[in-house]
Amino acid sequence: MAYHIEKLIDEREVIEGIKKVAEKINRDYQGKSIRLVCILKGGVFFLTELSKYLEGNITIDFMSVSSYGAGTVSSGIVKIIKDLDESIEGENVIVIEDIVDTGNTLSYLLELLRDRKPASVKLCTLLDKPSRRTKDIQADYVAFTIPDKFVVGFGLDYDQCYRNLPYVGVVEFDD
């Protein structure tokens, strides 16, 4: 099906939104050590931008889970593809996600991380699509709340493409 990408949040706006989130985190953590747990692959672009503005000792680790197939609708099944390299016991963990949509992925993941006895776990997402939520999940830090549209760019993909776009755009299907 033919489609095009409509710009939703431009490059400058994305960076400004991320800086504001970093300021909030800096205020809340006051230079404490933070373990950023980035959810691959979508969270990577947000992680690298956000972490530039964070203070204190920042360490990073990665986890890869899959909840979507090739389409635009969640399958509801969460699978761990790659686990963390390091223990998070006693750590102040902030999970870095590209988007919270239904909340399926995060409700599963947050429970799994809490079982590993971190000092704290918070959720930080670039985008929040609250209208689609089916699980009781709320992010502690949200850069942008967006309407119920399928978006790409700044880490988000459509069939693995467009993650590299420096802005966030909506995939509009032409009919």
Cβ 92 to ligand IMP shortest distance, Å? 22
**Three-state secondary structure call for residue 140:** coil
Cis peptide before 41 (omega within 30 of 0): yes
Query: Is 85 one of the catalytic residues?
Result: no
Could you tell which of Mg ion, ligand IMP, none binds residue 142, using a CB distance below 5 to 8 A set by kind? none
Q: How far apart are the first and last CA of the chain?
A: 8
Cβ 101 to ligand IMP shortest distance, Å? 3
**Three-state secondary structure call for residue 45:** helix
**Three-state secondary structure call for residue 130:** helix
Nearest CB to Mg ion, comparing residues 42 and 103: 42
Cβ 55 to ligand IMP shortest distance, Å? 27
Could you tell which of ligand IMP, Mg ion, none binds residue 48, using a CB distance below 5 to 8 A set by kind? none
Nearest CB to ligand IMP, comparing residues 49 and 97: 97
Output the DSSP codes for 52-118. Answer: TT--S-EEEEEEEEEEE-SSSSEEEEEEEEE--SS--TT-EEEEEEEEESSSHHHHHHHHHHHTT--
Residues that bind ligand IMP (CB under 6 A): 42, 67-68, 74, 97-106, 150-152, 156-157
Kindly list the catalytic residues: 101
Residues of this chain that bind Mg ion (CB under 5 A): 42
